[in-house]
Structure 1
């Protein structure tokens, strides 16, 4: 019995020592290679859709280093995007990543807008199951479910931390709010419209 306890204690001590020898990279701890296993490179996105009962009718499930520790330092991340019928992923940007989107279920209208210097050109397509579209780094882009049934897409992003800036939330939901007078002049609309938008996007869940 004493020998068994001694072996257990030695094993636990060895594991503790291995776990203590870690590196802090990209804001995350890297596990010691000697105790890494297959589960550190795996996650499951099962058939249960994300909750799309929100104002935009979509849900983004991030697949990043928090979900797959083995992604740390690899410069990649991914996402599953679920869409309710007529749901959308509103105009947004990823400041640190380009994105490749593949449609798994349904039909999506997707697109991005080029920079001011390129004339703010719209590049858009209707995608069906199996279709793939690329959104270049930093450009405003969107997805919209054209169908009357749910849709699912998977995205791959070229950064461990791509960032997401949803345009309406950033402009009208900032904390503290941007001056309504300034925004009214910027958007060339009545200030009351700006105030209405700021009220709508205040503490928005998206």
Structure 2
């Protein structure tokens, strides 16, 4: 299928890098996406692609993302007829690990409820749960402390997804408390930890 040539899933060499798909949602913490991607690319043998929601685009410039960036329009532009690739399925097949950072309150609610109304939530809904999925909650403290949040985070953990807990700090809105996305260094260290575990399990 020539139309799939632009999709990273199209290339599958016998020996290839470990592939990380980063999902980014409409939290202010999306400001850190360029730094997060840069730090992930510093890990030897890692290949990275990004799936963004439309609202997340408000917080970063695509020119600052040095990897392939996918959004909703790509899903619909790629598929014209039955023989064409389905992007959210191709990306699920391509990735060895998914990292959703930040995961805002809106997308948290969607994922916990099984809603898949954009490219990112479709990838998550189609995700192969035998492969790791890490998520980094990020929202206002009042939203984090709402009773529904603990229930939704608990559901994601029950699905087998790994939480990288939020931290307490002064938020961009001026409030102070829990809800801020984990520091980029913490997130990258967790990815390295999962990579080490994955490599060890592959050798055993």
Structure 1 length normalisation: TM-score?
0.29
Bigger radius of gyration = 1
Counting helix residues as a fraction of each chain, which structure ranks higher?
2
Structure 2 length normalisation: TM-score?
0.29
